[in-house]
Structure 1
Amino acid sequence: MESCEVLIVGGGPAGSTCAGRLRQAGLDVLLLDAQRFPRDKPCAGWITPAVLETLAIEPDDYRRGRVLEEIRGFRTSVMHGAELVTSYDRTVSYGIRRCEFDQYLLQRSAGRQILGEAVSMLERKDDCWLVNGRIMARLLVGAAGHTCPVACSLGAKIGAEPVIVARAAEFARSDDRQLSCQVQSDTPELFFSQDLKGYGWIVRKGGFLNVGFGRMDRADFGRQMTGFRTFLEERGVVAPDDAVRYQGHAYLAWQPQGGRRRVGDGALLIGDAAGLAHRHSGEGILPAVESALLAAQTIVAARGDYRRDRLESYAAKLTERYGGGMASARLLPAGLPGPIAARMFSSNLFVRYLLLDRLFLHQRQKTLSVEM
């Protein structure tokens, strides 16, 4: 029988960040993940500078042996409409490979880890949790995405929640295909559906290309995804005979009210398990690491008393952090007639200051600083 003070279920950016911070505070932490690392993760794979700043990662240190493409602009349009290039005089994002980034954070967190083992059983025993019949923990931190078993133990209804769905692929390009590729590594391309309920992306990272499509309306996703794949072929980004393997995933957008229960007796949720993604950009990495730090702060302050009322301050911190900033996503209306949407996307002011600066780059939000 193994035992620990805190068991973190999930080794992605949220789980590894929380584990590292708790270990620094002297807590006995064990991290459990169903997969072995490095592993692929369906994701566009670009992050804002705030992610590196929040994690205290120096770009030059990280890029040694890893992909870190500086992004200084975006090409945007409504699909099949006029395209607009918005350029910046500074780095506003970085292109990363999730297989590298997540592995880096996991290694940096150090400490005890069990990889390649999924959670098959959760049982509450007095003030502890028995996991898989062999791990005893006083506190569970759910960090295993929107289907996280810890979320289920707190009442999450997997399959009945309004999720954002996406499919993505990242693949290497041969030398000749790289030379013919028109996508610039410093200028990702974003193409929105006519009803503005989803968008596709093309992100180049050195010799790799990442393409995908995400949408808030699950019912129409298949047709929209097929249309985007045809769109990629028409642009020459992929050929009809390319063996592009798309991986599907789903995530929950932030809901200050009516969302998931994020705290319970001896348990709390962070990252995608807590449903923190930005509604229109779909970004989940920054909310993942921020929630991990806020959770760690709450756990340390609880001083071993992990009853729900001692952990509720964490949920309040999430609302304080995201209640206003993410609500600005409502400024991008869905369901507009195609010509009106196309006209909006031809406006430099709309694209730069609302779409990119506010909804994708979150430039009005201050970098989170968490004192332990």
Structure 2
Amino acid sequence: MSVHQTKKTKKWYVKWWVPDEKKYYSKWFGAGPKNGPEHRNAMAFDLEIKAKKALNKELPRKPPVVEEIYLEGLAKAYANHQRASGKSSRWLKEWLGMLDRHILPLVGHSPVNALTYQDMMRVVDYYTDRGCSPHTINRYLSYLKAMFRFGIRHGITTGNPLEHWRKRKEPPKQCLLNLEDLRRIQAHSPPHLAWGIEVAFNLVVRVGASELMALTWDRVDWSKRGVWVFMSKTNREKFVPCTDQFLAKLKSRKETANSRFIVEYKNQPFLRFRGSWKNAVRKAGIQYHTTPYDIRHLAITELLARGVDPGAVADIAGHSSAFFTITRYHHVREGAKRSAIEALPALVN
């Protein structure tokens, strides 16, 4: 039994031997300088262990020393589990790539069981200082928290340094894209991108592999004159009715389609939407920042601005409730409130 400090992370821990079990146990106290609070806490605990041993009292047995596993090893185990559970190879590739690029360089050198909440906050501070949005940071830490929970549930690790972490509040995303500018971008797009923009706008779907790029012709319900969309984000389906004009375009496209995907490029699903979008935005002379997600945002905005019932808009958008739609797009309804209040009759002529 003695006090130790790791070389790289400068974390203090106490390690002791339990004779009847013939195994070592350890307890970690965090990183800090010699004679700092972490070191003093470790020294005090070590004296406590020695005193108990001298008096033949039962020694602490938790947490046990387990085989040290680092984030990279835990990530591989988590990825294998997700693969067996049916997660797409694309999601797994993105997850492992994100971990390799953004997380491992910062905390990958410490065993998972030695990581602390302060270590995770250093990750937050690092990317906050580099201008990352709260949304991006929340996404990184949400993935990590799920992975730590997996490790505990399957007996791979013993602690979750993000157990008490909660998502940071994200400011509402400001969408500057308007209908006129979207038409300009579409006019400067190659045919496959222009068609993708039209599908995304008319079906109010998320532009990405999970919704727009996953749409197939068998999801078109010609008798009901609409399209079924599976929303992987919420694990639900929505049905979006189509206008007569858009339905006619769908039928025309179906006759010349070379694959089962509604939006295709060279007989394959069109997966490089973001890069093509940037080129079209530049050619259209749009000066402000805009992303493909703004297409969906604009479609919802236009529906509300035209006085469509928020409940119907929520169903079309796939929102969980009309309340979410109203609160998320409350700024759009200012005009509707003005029209409503002007409809009140005067009390005095």
Q: Place the TM-score, normalised by the shorter chain, in its bin.
A: under 0.3
TM-score normalised to structure 1 length: 0.20
The structure in which a higher percent of residues are helix is: 2
TM-score normalised to structure 2 length: 0.21
Greater C-alpha Rg: 2
Between 1 and 2, higher relative CO (CA 8 Å, sep ≥ 6) is seen in 1
The structure in which a higher percent of residues are strand is: 1
